[in-house]
Amino acid sequence: MLRNYTIYILKYICFTFVILTFSFSANSEPSVEEIIKGRKALFSKNYSIAKRVQSLASKGDFENSKSLMLEMSENYKILIEYFPDNTKEGFKTEALPSIWENKDEFNNLMKKSSTDMIELAKVIESSDDIRATLQKFMWSNCKACHSKFRAPH
Ligand code: HEC
């Protein structure tokens, strides 16, 4: 009885392992096109979220604006993975070579942008000047990064 059970468990583990390996290898290598288009889409998404954050916070709807701030924070973390070495050109990318020449600086800006959104969610409600707070913790990061790492458009 116990032996049957052990075999059952082992089979289950093996099966899970095979499925996981299969699904990972099926998804492990997105094409250059998918990566570049994927990051553009995510930046565009963050832009529309940022505009909604601005309008909600200005109206005093802090609950909804805060959850969007946290969503933006997560998107920045995901974006860090969207700049592998083989995606320096093609598919109308506006990413500059300076990204790969200063990868640590670029990644740190991305991380700072992410943690600033968490900070923003903490301070927005008690802030005296909503516009200035949004500028400081959200919009200024876009400019800081674009001025060095994104081609003029
Ligand atoms: C740490 C760097 C960094 C930060 C922070 C950042 N961006 Fe960008 N952004 C980029 C890079 C690099 C590109 C070019 C991506 C490409 O074309 O492959 C880009 C592209 C874009 C695009 C164009 C997407 C497209 O469809 O081509 C928009 C819109 C955008 N960013 C908006 C924003 C906004 C708004 C913020 C702040 C709320 C922001 N970004 C913050 C680096 C950054």
Radius of gyration of the CA atoms of the chain, in A: 21
Distance 134 CA to ligand 1 centre (A): 17
Cβ within 8 Å of residue 57, ≥6 positions away: 65, 124, 130, 134
Pocket residue to mutate for ligand 1, from 40, 43, 141, 142, most atoms within 8 A of Cβ: 43
pLDDT confidence bin for 9, thresholds 50/70/90 = confident
Cα-based distances in Å from 142 to 23, 30, 37, 106: 35, 26, 19, 12
What confidence score (pLDDT) does residue 8 get? 78
Among the residue ranges 23-32, 60-69, 93-102, 133-142, the one predicted with the least confidence is 23-32
**pLDDT per residue as tens digits for the range 33-69:** 999 999 999 999 999 999 999 999 999 999 999 999 9
pLDDT confidence bin for 13, thresholds 50/70/90 = confident
Going by CA atoms, what residue is nearest to atom 2 of ligand 1?
145
In 3D space, the residue among 137, 150, 146, 141 whose CA is nearest the CA of residue 53 turns out to be: 137
Q: How far is CA 55 from the centre of its chain?
A: 21
Cβ within 8 Å of residue 144, ≥6 positions away: 109
Ligand 1 contact via 73 beta carbon (within 6 Å): no
Q: Which atom of ligand 1 is nearest to the CA of 50?
A: 38
